[in-house]
Structure 1
């Protein structure tokens, strides 16, 4: 089982590393107990990482674990996509063939992108979520394989890792949830310079609590002495230990090299350069062995024997003898499977490679390339294209390199290795002008329909490849890989080339890509680019580009400016997509169309359309549309008050997106789930859903979802400081460049509520005014009603505050006028309309129990417990305000009891306190008891623990008095007044005078006629 980790070492003694080995063994024990583990092992080159891993792997195998090893492969300056994961999965397939086959059942085609032995990878149209799907399937495969036994996956040499490998490793470490799995990844710490691509990954993984990091230090003098003793099989001379320790500086590999040189009679002072020391042993080999060693150095991390024979051009006996000498000198090692050779240590390979002459390096690369062209079976099939492209490129032969690089880019795309595809396409663009015209003329687009259709109908295979085709492929690869800045630069260059080209379809296509890139990077809302694309296709015959542009225009308008224009664009997109047979675009446009139907009031038709799109997308396996439908349909259901249906649909969506690896889609589903759970009064679950959204999402918006739901919860629970903090975070995540009503209006609602709760009524009015300036486009009434309700409630709660009276009539009138313009097409918004109307009447002191009874009757059939509790509280207050008969007092008691019970359950402290205070003021008993219960305190101020003097001070604070004015009126010193104010703030649990005033008025501690007339102004 040990397989690839069985590596010969000069020293038979394992020195030191007890703590590090203990950490690895502890991680294995935890993994074996069912808690998956992830570790990073770093250290400089030669410090002993491989030896530590060997020792650990040997012990793990003794304990019954399955060990699978995969290493990152360096080919010149290039890495092979997913190389360590492919190697590790191949090892698991050897060790556990039945278990791996069972774990991969049903997903063989997708997983074949990493392990070709599983089958043929599909060649369908690629999308932005393809990589995420592959990553999710890979992680779940590893979890299933490790379900019943400990599995150790060792991934070596991350400093050589390609971008796709780094992304997959990050996904694995972030989402590993189950299985008896231990993943250990090693890297060279001294290679990770400031601009090394691994550095951001290490920083990201350091932030994960589930990842542990081990840093190997150099050996101490005593450890060096023990290592030398093991190599020499005798106690070394202390002077020799001092010399070797000083020259090696405790680096284990250099200790071995120096000790062997001394053992073999060499002089330890032979050279001052450790690099030269590495070459001394190579130069002591026979000439034929030196030649073979140089060939292996340029061939990559490992070179297959048959390939080496083809490049070396020696007779077999001479080649074997040359290899035997290199292996005997511990320069080369046979690979564990016996199929090839590699250097015992990469430092030696690098030293040999650096010693090659420029002409010698290009000549060797040409030989490798010619050998691979003559016999492609010399290397594994999944490595062939990348290695051939690398060798021709480093042979400096543009005529051969350009076609090879393009073939490698296609192979990378089919593996969803879009980062490597982008790098190869950029290399192809670099080679384009230097390649002969005849070579370029023979090139044809490969799978060109995966990117964009040709401008004219017909097969793209018959059209010569253009430089713009490379740029189009590179732009998409950049978007799919997350390299959006590079993609944006490519689209800019392409559009510059197209200025005089007279090809509006291609130009429109690039503007469409630019719109997506601009929006995803937060550089704008993408509308200017979309509008340009729309202008370019206007009047042209139907085409796939035309349909795609219209579909994106419709979706943008639905989100930003819903209305007739969006509906028309969606209908035309569907029509054009059908004309040209663009099924995926048609389904996407129909999904938008269904949502627009719902928002325009044609609810049944719209929901039926979305359900039909989901059915067809599922049949056709269109993952993007399936995921988007599970975001949009629950949102439509929530928008018409059917929250329970939305939750059921969202849970189905989570299962779907996890199985398909649609990370950002899953994050949106978690965000929508948080909204629906909040409506249903399942607030703790809503908070968890928001947290999941941030954890899973790959962009800023999921972090905005989490902040939004936590701001709403904090506001409802009375934590105004947290509500303000989360509000600021949400607005930062959503940005100001792209004001989307579905994000901006809910945040405005929180802002109004937070400002009102802190006694900042003028700020609340300003927030409302800003939202009203933007307006409520069709379909946004679902966000408009809660906003108007928050503003109306703020006005009603502030009635009687001197600071609130200026502009009150104007503010109430504006709210009433705006409410008349909002749609009430379903019961939930009809209920909100009655509630807003009652709050506005309360703000004018004209509300009656009948007004609140209407609102209550509207909310009782709905699944909105918090809203229902708030309306019950208001009705109880209205019943008690006019004295009330015994029957009315009994009804008020029951209403308050139900309201407070709901508030207590939800943790809605302001509502619970208000219900209790109202009951106390009215001398009502809310607690059910077997026997007589004591009456609640008649004075709510007493219930809050306020003394008589503090009550007087609070009355003046509520009236807007300063400490000096309070002191003058109560005949006390300003310092004493300040102490009283501080005590009041502490007892009320508020942060400032404005909040204290708001609490006093909300709880009706001081009837309006007793409030002192104070100076008007903004509370602070």
Structure 2
């Protein structure tokens, strides 16, 4: 109706911004080539960000792109998550119609949370991964939509964005890698104060090389002159330009506002205050239009025509005339969908709103709330409840606000917007005591706060009124899912204090269960004591979901942290109770834990069969967490049973299932397990490809850490020491407090031992084993412990005869022997690893048994374990050479075979060890496609020459390796102690070590001097 109104003061000529448009246009060109683009456009309020994006999107549409714009609503529309994304998707739906529905196929249930037009939302599942599924589904939708066309999606006013929107946009910016897509987000730079929540978001995106920032500057004086000429249809007097430039400071919006006050070529008498500048056009309108603007300002960033008409309560003709005046003055503008209005600039809305009297603001909010209560169709469906909650809250009516806020919290949870749910529940707790108790009885039941905590507290299925503890329970879960774990712990502690005064065992057990999880993930403990409190509280109570969950969690804790009294009984009882009360999710997760416990107990076939059956059961069940656990643990137990090939064959089904559920991050856990099995099978290149392709910028860092751990393991096996160290620290940091669990701590220690040994830091290698042993007993973790024990025993064997390593050596060997005695051998592969440890411990004592290495070499080869098989052949050859006799020909064959495997795998440390042994024994190496004897560097007269050591430095290093002090070295070589010290410093630098002991260990490991290695074979 108002589309033909001609606004005043809009410049018909686009001024400047050539550099910014060039950046945007080049991003569009790259996107058209299939490379997605992400840009952040910042600038102060009124500087022209929206005008710049209007020009860009218009040119993009001319080039054939499809564009969509979503704007964030100003803070005050409480609990309204994902609004800009939902708005943009709605625009895309209008533009593309059935194509969007087709692209959403398979993810309609999740995407309906953002775009209800797609149908009913799927089965609700609220866990740590629910939001990730929504994010992944949104990313895949945009990828599919941009497969055949270029999309430009703009999100405006990020400074008003809710946390859930910021996190979704961050996910999109990181995870979209193959799409014809341009994502642009704008924000008001002058609003980003030090504590503004957008600041860490921008800092996070700045670290991404794929995101570019555009800062829109103010106009220069010449640009202001051109802007005025465009607005006023002609050049203006230099004095006027100078005055407007001075007072606007080059802000284009202020230039327009000041231009409105021009009369007869000069400025009217305006005060210098910004507020007066912004209100001058409002105050020039008729009173009826000013009244409508005051009403619209309190309605929100956007106000629908029907809602505005109801609140204004004036004849339609009068309302239209008032709106026509506001639109004609370029204060309001119709929304893109033509259903409502928004202020052309938020600064004007803020000024109008600030000009309202406090009582006036309350009355207007009350009028909006009543209108919306009477006719919910006045606003879009997804905005009704949160806007109603906001209106009643700002109307200062606690009795009406509390139920509306609770309903808004429920809807925020349904959309996985846990940060917004938390805010709303905190507001509900703030209002709780202001609402009379008789009115609280009419509040929605506990299910409106959080679906799980109250269900176990019902008695005989009877409904019960909402309790203040229900608010605390819902807020605690929301805080945990929003990764505000310290706040969650604080809320739980508050609830437990209340329960001390008013005992309720079942409620208390639930809160202790939450506290167990929280102390574990905040690194304040292992959660065992809290679990025991919960278990004691539910003992003897009637069956409930809480009781089942406590037992299931206890069983899972003991599976991961180390066996307790009877984890199998706890898991079986959890299954029984869950079935009695119909808690299927708890039942399935307890069954997964039970199957893994069976494998740990040696019932491998039964446990594996149960996991295969559970993978089938969870398909289509709509339980993403259970699905990812079932498939991930299936691969884990197959690897633990030495059935690596079967694990590789089972992986595709799990990967496909997690992707179908929108669980890309959980898929990384499965991919990490797949990479582990591929490493065992010697398919290292394939494992590395999987690792590289899995670095997709996902937010669930624990799963990404699993990938980085595999990358670190590969780097260490291939001798990429610096990279292995970097990746190890990255994985440890991303893992957080749970890095101390045996399933993580032991693999970390195995890599640490490798790094420490190659650098001669035997003290660090021994300390790594001690820390791993402190993480828990080896029962159930043999697949991690045996490689660690073998590597640590090999390091001790290499250190035999080194004086600097003598202290603590016996204690280290005894720890390795004792741990080996405790570590199970449930499968043939672990028996072979145990024999490897036996052989290395014997080598550390100077004893060589070719039978051990013959057994392990042939056994590993039969089980498709090429790396340990090659290492065993190298050790077998060494024992034959040390023993002398007629074993030299067999040793040559073994070394040649080990050499071929090392070359194929790219295992540089093993390759160097084989070549060093062959060179010292005078055995040529080579074979088809490999380096032959002619390609090997000639054996130097002294191997120390390879390290760049001078003759004098070699003499000094020989004495350092023998444990001599600088003074003793000086006396032996007839040099001064100071000169000896200089030589030692040079040696440390050339060997890249930090101490004399490390230098001695490197010399010893490389067998540079015959005296440092009694067992070194000779030709």
Tell me the TM-score range normalised by the shorter chain.
over 0.9
Give the match for residue 907 of structure 2: 908
Give the match for residue 43 of structure 1: 43
The answer to whether the 8 Å contact 1:15/1:227 transfers is yes
The answer to whether the 8 Å contact 2:260/2:281 transfers is no
Alpha-carbon shift at residue 398 of structure 1 (Å): 1.6
**Does residue 1:635 correspond to 2:624, yes or no?**
no
Give the match for residue 1015 of structure 1: none
Moved more, 858-867 or 237-246: 858-867
Alpha-carbon shift at residue 115 of structure 1 (Å): 0.7
Give the match for residue 747 of structure 1: 748
The answer to whether the 8 Å contact 2:991/2:999 transfers is yes
The answer to whether the 8 Å contact 1:922/1:938 transfers is no
Q: Distance in 2 between matches of 1:811 and 1:71?
A: 63
Alpha-carbon shift at residue 652 of structure 1 (Å): 3.8
Give the match for residue 353 of structure 2: 353
Q: Distance in 1 between matches of 2:377 and 2:723?
A: 64
Give the match for residue 1003 of structure 2: 1000
Distance change (3 Å), C-alpha of 1:971 and 1:420:
same
Distance change (3 Å), C-alpha of 1:900 and 1:973:
farther
The answer to whether the 8 Å contact 2:9/2:260 transfers is no
Distance change (3 Å), C-alpha of 1:741 and 1:929:
closer
Give the match for residue 29 of structure 2: 29
Give the match for residue 759 of structure 1: 760
Alpha-carbon shift at residue 149 of structure 1 (Å): 0.7
Q: Distance in 2 between matches of 1:972 and 1:756?
A: 32
Summarize deviations over 1:975-1012 as a string: whole Å, max 9, x none: 76567657766776766544443343334443348989
Give the match for residue 921 of structure 2: 922
- Partner of 1:442, secondary structure, is coil
Give the match for residue 943 of structure 2: 941
Give the match for residue 959 of structure 1: 962
The answer to whether the 8 Å contact 1:752/1:790 transfers is yes
Alpha-carbon shift at residue 440 of structure 1 (Å): 1.1
The answer to whether the 8 Å contact 2:899/2:915 transfers is yes
Give the length in aligned residue pairs. Answer: 1005
Q: Distance in 2 between matches of 1:766 and 1:396?
A: 62
Alpha-carbon shift at residue 698 of structure 1 (Å): 3.6
Q: Distance in 2 between matches of 1:166 and 1:740?
A: 32
The answer to whether the 8 Å contact 2:1004/2:1012 transfers is no
Summarize deviations over 1:276-323 as a string: whole Å, max 9, x none: 122121111111111111111111112111111111111111111111
Summarize deviations over 1:389-408 as a string: whole Å, max 9, x none: 11111111122212222222
- Aligned ranges 1:308-327 → 2 under 5 Å: 308-327=308-327
Give the match for residue 147 of structure 2: 147
- Partner of 2:70, secondary structure, is strand
**Does residue 1:568 correspond to 2:561, yes or no?**
no
Moved more, 967-976 or 306-315: 967-976
Distance change (3 Å), C-alpha of 1:591 and 1:928:
closer
Q: Distance in 2 between matches of 1:811 and 1:157?
A: 61
Alpha-carbon shift at residue 18 of structure 1 (Å): 0.5
- Partner of 2:619, secondary structure, is helix
Give the match for residue 251 of structure 2: 251
The answer to whether the 8 Å contact 2:753/2:791 transfers is yes
Alpha-carbon shift at residue 870 of structure 1 (Å): 1.3
Summarize deviations over 1:512-532 as a string: whole Å, max 9, x none: 122222222333222222221
Alpha-carbon shift at residue 246 of structure 1 (Å): 0.8
Give the match for residue 157 of structure 2: 157
**Does residue 1:493 correspond to 2:478, yes or no?**
no
- What runs of 5+ residues in structure 1 fail to find an aligned partner? 1013-1020
Give the match for residue 450 of structure 1: 451
Give the match for residue 784 of structure 1: 785
TM-score (norm 2): 0.93
Give the match for residue 397 of structure 2: 397
Q: Distance in 1 between matches of 2:440 and 2:849?
A: 83
Moved more, 826-835 or 352-361: 826-835
- Partner of 1:416, secondary structure, is coil
- Partner of 2:262, secondary structure, is helix
Give the match for residue 82 of structure 2: 82
Q: Distance in 2 between matches of 1:905 and 1:232?
A: 76
Give the match for residue 1017 of structure 1: none
Give the match for residue 1018 of structure 1: none
Alpha-carbon shift at residue 382 of structure 1 (Å): 1.5
Moved more, 729-738 or 550-559: 729-738
Give the match for residue 92 of structure 1: 92
Moved more, 754-763 or 41-50: 754-763
The answer to whether the 8 Å contact 2:789/2:820 transfers is yes
- Partner of 1:236, secondary structure, is coil
Give the match for residue 604 of structure 1: 605
Distance change (3 Å), C-alpha of 1:123 and 1:896:
closer
Alpha-carbon shift at residue 128 of structure 1 (Å): 3.1
- Partner of 1:187, secondary structure, is strand
Q: Distance in 2 between matches of 1:164 and 1:367?
A: 29
Distance change (3 Å), C-alpha of 1:920 and 1:611:
same
Alpha-carbon shift at residue 34 of structure 1 (Å): 0.5
- Partner of 1:899, secondary structure, is helix
Q: Distance in 2 between matches of 1:440 and 1:970?
A: 92
The answer to whether the 8 Å contact 1:72/1:80 transfers is no
The answer to whether the 8 Å contact 1:157/1:187 transfers is yes
Q: Distance in 2 between matches of 1:332 and 1:732?
A: 51
Superposed CA RMSD: 2.9
Distance change (3 Å), C-alpha of 1:622 and 1:516:
same
- Aligned ranges 1:126-275 → 2 under 5 Å: 126-263=126-263, 267-275=267-275
Q: Distance in 2 between matches of 1:534 and 1:477?
A: 24
- Partner of 1:42, secondary structure, is strand
Distance change (3 Å), C-alpha of 1:621 and 1:334:
closer
Moved more, 205-214 or 471-480: 471-480
Q: Distance in 1 between matches of 2:771 and 2:412?
A: 49
Alpha-carbon shift at residue 843 of structure 1 (Å): 1.6
Q: Distance in 2 between matches of 1:655 and 1:241?
A: 65
Q: Distance in 2 between matches of 1:34 and 1:333?
A: 36
The answer to whether the 8 Å contact 1:798/1:998 transfers is yes
Distance change (3 Å), C-alpha of 1:9 and 1:647:
farther
Q: Distance in 2 between matches of 1:473 and 1:651?
A: 37
Moved more, 514-523 or 915-924: 514-523
Q: Distance in 2 between matches of 1:150 and 1:332?
A: 31
Give the match for residue 658 of structure 1: 659
Alpha-carbon shift at residue 666 of structure 1 (Å): 3.3
Distance change (3 Å), C-alpha of 1:486 and 1:840:
closer
Give the match for residue 54 of structure 2: 54
Q: Distance in 1 between matches of 2:805 and 2:156?
A: 68
The answer to whether the 8 Å contact 1:664/1:696 transfers is no
Summarize deviations over 1:382-426 as a string: whole Å, max 9, x none: 111111111111111122212222222222222222222222222
Distance change (3 Å), C-alpha of 1:652 and 1:984:
farther
Q: Distance in 2 between matches of 1:833 and 1:355?
A: 80
Distance change (3 Å), C-alpha of 1:792 and 1:337:
closer
Q: Distance in 2 between matches of 1:926 and 1:505?
A: 71
Give the match for residue 878 of structure 2: 877
The answer to whether the 8 Å contact 2:334/2:341 transfers is yes
Alpha-carbon shift at residue 196 of structure 1 (Å): 1.6
Distance change (3 Å), C-alpha of 1:652 and 1:966:
farther
- Aligned ranges 1:483-522 → 2 under 5 Å: 483-522=484-523
Alpha-carbon shift at residue 504 of structure 1 (Å): 0.7
Give the match for residue 899 of structure 1: 898
Alpha-carbon shift at residue 542 of structure 1 (Å): 1.3
The answer to whether the 8 Å contact 2:671/2:707 transfers is no
Alpha-carbon shift at residue 169 of structure 1 (Å): 0.8
- What runs of 5+ residues in structure 2 fail to find an aligned partner? none
Give the match for residue 970 of structure 1: 973
Moved more, 558-567 or 750-759: 750-759
Q: Distance in 2 between matches of 1:216 and 1:424?
A: 35
